[in-house]
A = this chain, B = another copy of it.
């Protein structure tokens, strides 16, 4: 991967914040230094930096909205090969919300837990 000022600037912006920004936010920040950078370049470099492992994409749900008729709080498993989502019937840990509240000082009302790995079907193939 070649070093370019665009890539450096994007990485710098991302390292200078803990706000987990969107591509568009990064774009607007970087434009302060490189006014004519294009949004396409930002997307391309974010993708490249993800692939090289220099940054992470926060993408727990995949690109598309998904819906569930089951309304009780429960955990999920996402297969990294086929992208299917399964229910995981482990007991929901209420205690951890309290610990997070204590740590952050925020009101914590619930949490979302999604396991990652390979489902049985994809293990076989």
Binding site for B on A (CB under 8 A): 11, 14-15, 18-24, 26, 46, 49-50, 53-61, 63-71, 75-77, 79-80, 84-90, 96-97, 99-101, 103-120, 123
Contacts and interface: CB of A to CB of B under 8 A. Distances in A.
Dominant secondary structure at the A interface: mixed
Contact of A112 (B60, B69, B87, B119): B60
A77 B71 CA distance: 21
Contact of A69 (B55, B64, B99, B113): B55
How many chain copies does the complex carry? 2
A103 B66 CA distance: 23
A101 B84 contact: no
A105 to B, nearest CB: 5
